[in-house]
Structure 1
């Protein structure tokens, strides 16, 4: 079994080099470039040979540039118990994250749609967990509402996929698209409550 380059020798230095390459990839993506390993190496001031030791191809590099968002919840500690207010808070933050990381998320979506592609981290369902967290009070106040299914429905109308459709196809500005996403989430929640 081959030992990965990064797990041998000066691991801290290698960690810093990897992070510099990832940061350079993110910076280029944010400027609208879909960079290859050589462009990222130049941006980071690292030799191409070294860069290829970390990322053998563009796909591996772009997957590593995915946003690292570890929050288990987007709600503040003093979050209200009203599910509508909670969802509004979560959707405000989720839309902000989506807009802040739009170039990287677009790249991850493109990579995830390639035939035979491994599913990148974009497909971990983190946003579904954030939405379920917002909807949690419904389990007690509206037990007939299927919170898990509602979270999936809300997620299907939000995120990078919706932003792309609303801006690229629908012709909306990012601000208009953000408002549509937020109001769609709220409408789905209100409909679920009314039907329960």
Structure 2
């Protein structure tokens, strides 16, 4: 199974969206063996998604203030997005496609970034309610990640460096707005 996943990751990084057959061939694994692990392309590509089991995006010695912590997480999160952009785009596309049947959701769409951002904004406890922090986290998440990168580069025409700076600026502006004027609702 590891060889299939590695082959699929390599093919996706090269800009392809491999089938189970193609991954099996690239891995030197029999088709019948490959289909024992993966019933189709979606399952294969979900398994080949870059590792996102990290529990934190903060550095070892994180800043103490919410703004510094948030910026550190946004920088690390966007770095990871850029390093795995081909895979991220593939998974974004798959997440937008219909997935019929129970249990057909892609495992990457579990809101891992929500936890990372919530951790970054822990210094806001006492300043904002848990509900307000959650709303802020959702607002920031809507402005960063592969979805934002795709829009800023493909639609907005920014290069990747400017797109990342836009995401950082937006995240910090949302935090500043929440701290000075509060949040909606």
The reply to whether TM is greater than 0.5 is: yes
Give the Å deviation of 1:56: 2.0
1:27 to 10, 29, 43: 10
Secondary structure of the 2:172 match is helix
Instruction: Specify the alignment match of 2:160 in structure 1.
Output: 174
1:154 aligns with 2:137: no
Deviations 1:44-76 (A, max 9, x none): 111222212211211111111122221211112
Contact 2:95–2:106 (CA under 8 A) maintained in structure 1: yes
Gaps of 5+ in 2: none
Instruction: Specify the alignment match of 1:93 in structure 2.
Output: 76
Rounded Cα–Cα distance in structure 1 between residues aligned with 2:54 and 2:99: 30
Give the Å deviation of 1:84: 0.6
Displaced runs of 4+ in structure 1, greater than 4 A? none
Contact 1:163–1:177 (CA under 8 A) maintained in structure 2: yes
2:128 to 135, 140, 143: 143
Rounded Cα–Cα distance in structure 2 between residues aligned with 1:96 and 1:102: 10
* Corresponding residue pairs, total: 178
Rounded Cα–Cα distance in structure 2 between residues aligned with 1:68 and 1:114: 22
Contact 2:11–2:17 (CA under 8 A) maintained in structure 1: yes
Structure 1 length-normalised TM:
0.86
Give the Å deviation of 1:191: 0.9
Instruction: Specify the alignment match of 2:58 in structure 1.
Output: 75
Contact 1:153–1:188 (CA under 8 A) maintained in structure 2: yes
Instruction: Specify the alignment match of 2:113 in structure 1.
Output: 127
Deviations 1:97-151 (A, max 9, x none): 11111111111111111124532122111001111111110113x2368111100
Rounded Cα–Cα distance in structure 1 between residues aligned with 2:58 and 2:98: 36
Gaps of 5+ in 1: 1-17
Secondary structure of the 1:67 match is coil
Larger Rg: 1
Give the Å deviation of 1:176: 1.4
Rounded Cα–Cα distance in structure 2 between residues aligned with 1:135 and 1:147: 7
